[in-house]
Amino acid sequence: MAVDEETVAQVAHLARLQIDENRVAEYAVEMSNVLALAETMNDINTDNVEPMAHPVHAVQRLRDDEVSESNNREAFQQCAPAVEEGYYLVPQVIE
């Protein structure tokens, strides 16, 4: 599968990545190469293979439903750029 420049821009947008427009063509080639590599796996018959959800063959351990955390707001908010009345402040997200 070949990745075109439009797809590169779209993927960058979804990941909120700023990319140099001059390098988009280059990225398109590199991403196409990576996908071509993965394509080789399509030659293998996987009809009877269960999709792997995790490389480790183990089952999820569960924890008891207990409140084990106390309020650490002050400590956490020390690394936030802006807080007010306990809220984290971010640039306005609706018009």
Interface residue with other proteins among 21, 43, 47, 69 (CB under 8 A) is: 69
Asked if 89 is part of the footprint of other proteins (rule: CB under 8 A), the reply reads yes
CA distance 10 to 69: 40
In the complex, the smallest distance separating the C-beta of residue 22 from other proteins, rounded to whole angstroms, is 25
Report how far Cα 70 is from the mean position of its chain's Cα atoms: 29
- Contact range with other proteins by CB under 8 A, out of 17-25, 26-34, 35-43, 79-87: 79-87
Question: Are 56 and 36 within 8 A, CB to CB?
Answer: no
* φ, ψ at 83 (rounded to 5°): -135, 150
User: Interface with other proteins by CB under 8 A: which residues?
Assistant: 10, 14, 16, 51, 53-54, 56, 58-69, 71-73, 76-77, 82, 84-94
